[in-house]
Amino acid sequence: MAERAQNIALRSDFQLLVDGALTGGEGWLEVINPATEQAFARCPAAGREHLDAAVAAARRAFAPWRQTSYARRAELIKRYTAALREAQDWLTVLLTEEQGKPIAQSEAEVDRGAAQADEMAGIEIPVELLLEDDRRRIELHYRPLGVVGIITPWNAPIALALGSMTSALYTGNTVIIKPSPYTPLSTLKMGELAQAIFPPGVVNVLAGGDDLGRWMSEHEDIDKISFTGSVATGKKVLASAAQTLKRVTLELGGNDPAIVLPDADPKAIAKQMFFACFVNTGQVCMAIKRIYVHEDVYDELCEVLVEEARNAKYGSGLDRENQLGPLQNKMQFDKVSEIFEDTRRSGATFLIGGEIPDRAGYFIPPTLVTDVDEHSRLVREEQFGPIVPILKYSDIQDAVRRANDTRFGLSGSVWTSDPIRGKAIAQRLEVGTAWVNQHRATSAYVPFGGAKESGLGRQSSVLGLKGYMEPQVVSVSKLAP
């Protein structure tokens, strides 16, 4: 991924996992620490033959794995999450080194990911009785699909791989996991931990570039792709998957609005709202990306959010003092920098932030802006970075219309001291998840996914798990033949 840094020995204890064996690749990926802009590690990159070998192994492993009981599969998943927790100290340092996020957020990623995986592996998927009368009994069964390809982005590599992996394995599928080329290392270590627990071929992990993702989406012997990433790539995955009518779950980007009603207490909501915008330096699919505030509380909310931004320290994620790390990669840093310039040109007012420091690392301070042109890139696009517009409204109908005026539809929230009114407004948001007085609250028992162009299908819960299965009607006549 980068020019080799001069005089720095690259860490290279990483391998692919194919058919239960750790193996090299056909080339290398160099991985940059975004806090220093230096390459610090390299890992093998898989070629087509590695993919074919992994798919063949996953296919072989599928027959016995699908016959394994839910209880046994859950037991192995729980052994695996225990291994992740045991590895947490070194795994979270590695995650912060490659991804940039503060170490406490890396710890939370492993903790929450493991807890949700444990919960998911306890969800029952019963046979459903559709109809029974004197003549027939009709049941709906759910069968595993087969080999599932899991493609993940760079913002939460462990949690996102683990969520899809758990869903697929628990429901009886085998998997091939491909992390982003920007953050392959922690996922490869997840593969090493999986090697000791799951039968050969059940879990395969391949690092590689975008081509590897495309090969997976096109592969004739992969039955489903579980993709998390951008809308643009999600559309390519869907087009590739169409050739073989693969099943897909697409978890894509968002431009998530928060609406603050006139009865909200700005001081009470400031901290929660600030971190819902800026956690992981804004690189979260469901982060608040636009804030619509009623004119009665507008000035006060701006003030308290600015105060939060002033108090938030940013810098290397390895330093526990810092609440915000760098942007994850140069491409994202450049994109957010362009959005800064576009916002400035459009005449917006920068309440805080706005200066991109001249220092090593992809750092941008938390930035809040007002007087923003509603047609600017900052409002229209998914900024995926630490710059958030605060937009004024006087009429709630107008606020809801503006919040919904987007092709995205991942999540949104309403903030108020009247939860009943909040709920009525939340229901009008065209999103997969609408929260009231909270944002980013997810659970293994609750489906998560996007409306509109933010995705297809859901993750988590019975609904999400069924996305990894094929419904099968079994209809038995009671009449003697």
Question: Binding to ligand NAD (CB under 6 A): which residues in 418-437?
Answer: none
Shortest Cβ 260–ligand NAD spacing (Å): 23
Q: Does residue 254 bind ligand NAD (CB under 6 A)?
A: yes
Q: Which stretch binds ligand NAD (CB under 6 A): 35-43, 151-159, 311-319, 393-401?
A: 151-159
Please pick, from the candidates 113, 144, 253, 317, the single residue that binds ligand NAD as defined by CB under 6 A: 253
Residue 44 has which token pair? Answer: 């093998």
The residue with its CB nearest to ligand NAD is 213
Catalytic residue among 43, 277, 285, 302: 285
Residue 77 has which token pair? Answer: 């998943």
Shortest Cβ 183–ligand NAD spacing (Å): 8
Q: Does residue 228 bind ligand NAD (CB under 6 A)?
A: yes
Q: Does residue 214 bind ligand NAD (CB under 6 A)?
A: yes
Question: Binding to ligand NAD (CB under 6 A): which residues in 67-106?
Answer: none
Q: Does residue 381 bind ligand NAD (CB under 6 A)?
A: no
Q: Does residue 31 bind ligand NAD (CB under 6 A)?
A: no
Q: Which stretch binds ligand NAD (CB under 6 A): 4-12, 173-181, 359-367, 420-428?
A: 173-181
Residue 3, phi-psi category: left (phi > 0), alpha (psi -120 to 50), beta (remainder): beta
C-alpha atoms less than 13 angstroms from C-alpha of 230 in its C-beta half-sphere: 12
Cβ atoms of residues 45 and 208 within 8 Å: yes
Question: Binding to ligand NAD (CB under 6 A): which residues in 393-422?
Answer: 410
Q: Does residue 44 bind ligand NAD (CB under 6 A)?
A: no
Catalytic annotation present for 109: no
Catalytic annotation present for 251: yes
Q: Does residue 256 bind ligand NAD (CB under 6 A)?
A: no
Catalytic residue among 109, 251, 308, 453: 251
Nearer to ligand NAD, 137 or 214 (CB): 214
Q: Which stretch binds ligand NAD (CB under 6 A): 6-14, 194-202, 209-217, 271-279?
A: 209-217
| Chain residues in the site for ligand NAD (CB under 6 A) | 151-156, 160, 178, 180-181, 210, 213-214, 217, 228-230, 233, 236-237, 251-254, 285, 382, 384, 410, 450, 455
What positions carry a catalytic annotation?
251, 285
